[in-house]
A and B are shown apart, each in its own frame.
Chain A
Amino acid sequence: MKLVTAVIKPHKWEEVREALAAAGVAGMTVTEASGYGQQKGHTEVYRGAEYDVSLVPKIRLEVVVDDADVDSVVSTITGSAQTGKIGDGKVWVIPVDSVVRVRTGETDEAAL
């Protein structure tokens, strides 16, 4: 099993969710996040005083998938989140040792 984590642009979130649902991903955890990479922040002006706002709002989504599904999930996310401009985000994959479904006690692949 693998944990796929993606940080994407907020306005692409709906497209990514629909694409993942169409690909059979049944659930995920989503948080509003902020950060920066190549896309630096922006400037705001209050009564003439300029502020550099370095953090950019992002959506962070996490989904645990079966090893066999990793490639298709990653490509679904990158395909649906891409705009081609800086700030599109990142997707990374890390191994997961075990998973337990709290309601039933099922473990690992059966719990996904």
Chain B
Amino acid sequence: MDTGDTAWILASSALVLLMTPGLAFFYGGMVRSKTVLNMMMMSFLALAIVPVLWVLYGYSMTFGPGGSKWLGGFDRVGLNNIGLNTAYGTLPEYVFVAFQLMFAIITVALISGAIADRAKFGAWAVFIVVWMTIVYFPVAHWVFDFGVSGGPGGWIANNLKAFDFAGGTAVHINAGAAGLALALVLGKRVGWKRDPMRPHNLPFVLLGTGLLWFGWFGFNSGSAVAANGIAGLAFVNTGVATAAAMLGWLLVEVVRDKKATSLGGASGAVAGLVAITPACGTVSPLGAIAVGIIAGILCALAVGLKYKFGYDDSLDVVGVHLVGGITGTVLIGLFAQGSFATVGGKANAGLFYGGDFSQLGKQVAAAGVVLVYSFVLTYIIGKLIDVTIGFRISEEDEVLGIDQVEHLETAYDEAGIIGGSALKTGV
């Protein structure tokens, strides 16, 4: 075991954890003031449920030794058979458990943006449990398990050998496709395209973007699972691709709307973070700039699709995470540099770096399979929840505001002293 690697992955784990509260601010600022608490609580509920699932059986389903290429084995249920000296590569296995837990938390939280303002909180809780079990744990096994602790590892990682450094497929395409499915199951918000649904607090959105960006260094650079040169490369690429994507998004706005918006800057940064996630260990910093600019421009255009096709993906989980995730995953097939993109010591360069179409084909296959699997399974899970316990609050409650209906709270005391309230429960 390596103490340097261990220290860096412990620090990275804390960084990645912070992304989920960051996401809560990013999403919370974008909704109306009557729904901000519910929006933020959807992320915080992932922070409450996923760690428990992870320890009980999630880690074992994802990384347990002795499984198949489709699913981990049951050797690690309840984190059984892990001791202080159990190694996972150069790390104590407990450290790897902690690091990968944070990925599991944020992935399901990302989906919530697609169904803002209208999902029953209890139904969302059920969804988290079922979706993690049926969709996330298997897909994360396919992509992230290289068989380090024994077993064949996942099929995308070890058989297909597509590059996905930190989760363009398992996290972003997965969450994006799931968001699209849930947006279709729940339907449009009351008054969509008719009532103004302006972001109620853009400083929150920028704050969330800052926290996400900060935490994402742990997400990407930590995915080297070591404190080494690849971690450094991923760190630099994460910084520069994000910057380039922000420029790309703002460029679209300046050309189309004549002005650069703060929401556009924040969205562009997140689109860049998403797109560089799979690519940050295999492209050069110059390649990362290309990935970032392309992702910023594509995502800025993609967020308009929902108005054309008529689905209310409220906070653009599709436009940013699905499109950004596909962009980054597929561009590896073009921009992967041979000296970084190696499999078993053999260079698998992208098309623009002297490679052939083979890596590009693998990237497309990985992206496509995860997209279809996640979309289909999520749609079925969503429908089952909807016909049994109901996924959506009533129209009347939705107009009133989900915060006071589902949480018995409002975020802001807008009435001031005049609206005053009396304490009901005597002390």
* Interface of A toward B, CB cutoff 8 Å: 44-49, 51, 53
Residues of A within 8 A of B261 (CB): 45-46
Q: Is the interface of A mostly helix, strand, loop or mixed?
A: strand
* Interface of B toward A, CB cutoff 8 Å: 196, 198-199, 253, 256-257, 259, 261, 263-264, 267, 300, 303-304, 307, 316, 319
A48 in contact with B256 (CB, 8 Å): yes
B199 in contact with A48 (CB, 8 Å): no
A45 in contact with B259 (CB, 8 Å): yes
Residues of A within 8 A of B263 (CB): 46-47
B307 in contact with A49 (CB, 8 Å): yes
Closest to A43 in B: B257
Closest to B261 in A: A45
When chains A and B are docked, how far (Å) is the Cα of A47 from the Cα of B268? 10
B257 in contact with A48 (CB, 8 Å): yes
Between B196, B259, B263, B267, the greatest number of chain A beta carbons within 10 A of the residue's beta carbon is seen for B196
Residues of A within 8 A of B199 (CB): 46
Q: Smallest CB–CB gap between A10 and chain B, Å?
A: 19
List 20 contacting pairs A-B, 8 Å CB cutoff, sorted by A. Answer: A44-B198, A45-B259, A45-B261, A46-B199, A46-B261, A46-B263, A47-B263, A47-B267, A47-B303, A47-B304, A47-B316, A47-B319, A48-B257, A48-B300, A48-B303, A48-B304, A49-B307, A51-B196, A51-B198, A53-B196
Q: Smallest CB–CB gap between B321 and chain A, Å?
A: 14
When chains A and B are docked, how far (Å) is the Cα of A45 from the Cα of B264? 10
When chains A and B are docked, how far (Å) is the Cα of A51 from the Cα of B316? 17
Closest to B315 in A: A47
When chains A and B are docked, how far (Å) is the Cα of A44 from the Cα of B259? 10
When chains A and B are docked, how far (Å) is the Cα of A44 from the Cα of B198? 9
Closest to B258 in A: A45
Closest to A48 in B: B304
When chains A and B are docked, how far (Å) is the Cα of A45 from the Cα of B256? 11
Q: Smallest CB–CB gap between A3 and chain B, Å?
A: 21
When chains A and B are docked, how far (Å) is the Cα of A46 from the Cα of B202? 10
Residues of B within 8 A of A51 (CB): 196, 198
Q: Smallest CB–CB gap between A80 and chain B, Å?
A: 29
When chains A and B are docked, how far (Å) is the Cα of A62 from the Cα of B267? 44
Q: Smallest CB–CB gap between A49 and chain B, Å?
A: 7
Residues of A within 8 A of B303 (CB): 47-48
Residues of B within 8 A of A53 (CB): 196
When chains A and B are docked, how far (Å) is the Cα of A44 from the Cα of B303? 16
3 closest cross-chain pairs (CB), A and B: A47-B303, A45-B257, A48-B304
B264 in contact with A47 (CB, 8 Å): yes
Between A44, A47, A51, A53, the greatest number of chain B beta carbons within 10 A of the residue's beta carbon is seen for A47
Residues of A within 8 A of B319 (CB): 47
When chains A and B are docked, how far (Å) is the Cα of A46 from the Cα of B257? 10
> Which of B198, B300, B307 is A46 in contact with, Cβ under 8 Å?
B198
Closest to B262 in A: A46
Between A45, A48, A49, the greatest number of chain B beta carbons within 10 A of the residue's beta carbon is seen for A48
When chains A and B are docked, how far (Å) is the Cα of A24 from the Cα of B224? 74
When chains A and B are docked, how far (Å) is the Cα of A48 from the Cα of B303? 8
Residues of A within 8 A of B300 (CB): 47-48
Residues of B within 8 A of A44 (CB): 198
Residues of B within 8 A of A48 (CB): 253, 256-257, 300, 303-304
Closest to A44 in B: B198
Residues of B within 8 A of A45 (CB): 253, 257, 259, 261
